[in-house]
Amino acid sequence: MSLLNVDAHWFYVGSGTAFELPQAEFKHRLDSTARERPLINCVLDGVGRDDLMAGHQSNHISVAYVPGR
């Protein structure tokens, strides 16, 4: 995972793995947020939750899917 600064905007670029949570936990998380915000359960390679939250100052990310990975 790399932290980049482009035109005063900071962002991480890297990879990760999506996974399924048990249905009850996923429903709890879905019910705890606005329906306009899709959920993805993932582990990001090379950065932990606390480091991401401290550097990104947000609890949401943009995701791009890579075919065949």
What is the DSSP annotation of 6-30?
ETTEEEEE--EEE-PPPHHHHHHHH
Q: What is the pLDDT of residue 55?
A: 67
CB 44 within 8 A of CB 16: yes
**Is 12 a residue whose pLDDT tops 80?**
no
Q: What is the pLDDT of residue 69?
A: 63
Q: What is the pLDDT of residue 20?
A: 93
CB 4 within 8 A of CB 13: yes
Q: What is the pLDDT of residue 57?
A: 65
Query: For the segment 13-69, what is each residue's pLDDT rounded down to a tens digit?
Result: 788 888 999 999 999 988 988 878 788 888 888 888 787 777 666 667 778 888 876
The domain segmentation of the chain, as residue ranges, is: 15-69
Q: What is the pLDDT of residue 56?
A: 65
